[in-house]
Structure 1
Amino acid sequence: MIHQYDEPVYLISIVAKVLDIHPQTLRQYERENLVTPSRSNGRIRLYSQRDIDRIKLILRLTRELGVNLAGVDVILRLKENVDNMEQDIRDLKNELLRAKNSQTVSHDKALVTKKSIYEMIIFED
């Protein structure tokens, strides 16, 4: 059975075994708000594939690059901000493309296109 990327299905013991780390490490990452697994009705931690990929990134930063957990927190927040900005840029590019293709622009926006690279400004005395 194939699960969705964000679907919480993995128990803490499975994640710990797959990543070759102690379950206490996962609990510490949760205490530090680096990862937030879902909880079942019985309060059992359930991790998604997205959570596992995030933990892999945390492990790479700490083990290979020597970053402490405070640094990991900063890096993860910056990465999230960059990801959000990149999504905003993609959305704006798509909106611009739609506007250019439809030859109309919504009343609350202005579309400016340049005919050439060079522009001349003349100042009079």
Structure 2
Amino acid sequence: MAPVPAGFDETSPIFSIAAAAELAGLHAQTLRQYDRLGLVQPSRTAGNTRRYSMRDIGRLKQVQMLSGEGVSLEGIRRILEMSDENRELRTRVRELESALADAVMQQQGRRVFAAGTAGITTIRAGARPSKPGSVVLWRPSR
């Protein structure tokens, strides 16, 4: 696979409607309809021309697959909306888990234990146990 030029990723709007239609295996008019319905909303140039990203192409293929399984366009819109919300919520949960773990590690008075074949030992918060395969347990002090 060729390297991706700097500044480009899966969200970079680089494909014209004709190229996106060909990549997705759809007709350009179908892409226009999906845009009107809000199923896939490509970026627009200053001249109001649609530009699709690789993420948009993937979404077009997902719409095509769901449609082929007999799901109505309104049903597809709802499925995509819930999928987007789910993805955003999962990202937020990961952010909150990370923030919580950081906050817990910064609290004074926390004790950290490692259990391994040699027994249970206390280790400094944020440190790794010296023996591989050790189980680490965080226990708050009271």
* Cα distance in structure 1, aligned partners of 2:86 and 2:45: 31
1:50 aligns with 2:44: no
Structure 1 counterpart of 2:99, from 95, 113, 116: 95
* Cα distance in structure 1, aligned partners of 2:89 and 2:42: 25
Q: Look at both structures and tell me which one has the larger radius of gyration over its CA atoms.
A: 2
Structure 2 counterpart of 1:26, from 31, 43, 51: 31
The structural deviation recorded for 1:88 is 1.7
* SS in structure 2 at match of 1:26: helix
* SS in structure 2 at match of 1:10: coil
* Cα distance in structure 2, aligned partners of 1:32 and 1:114: 53
* Structure 1 unaligned blocks of 5 or more: 105-112, 116-125
- Of Structure 1 and Structure 2, which has the larger fraction of its residues in strand? 2
The match for 1:67 is 71
The match for 2:87 is 83
**Higher relative contact order, chain-length normalized (CA < 8 Å, sep 6+):** 1
* SS in structure 1 at match of 2:95: helix
What do residues 6-35 of structure 1 show as CA deviations (whole Å, max 9, x unaligned)?
111000101111222110000000010111
Q: What is the aligned-residue identity percentage? A: 35
The structural deviation recorded for 1:86 is 0.9
Judged with a 3 Å threshold, the aligned counterparts in structure 2 of structure 1 residues 114 and 68 are, in CA distance, closer, same or farther, namely farther
1:7 aligns with 2:12: yes
The structural deviation recorded for 1:42 is 2.0
* Cα distance in structure 1, aligned partners of 2:78 and 2:53: 22
Q: TM-score, normalised by structure 2?
A: 0.68
* Cα distance in structure 2, aligned partners of 1:114 and 1:32: 53
CA RMSD of aligned residues (A): 1.9
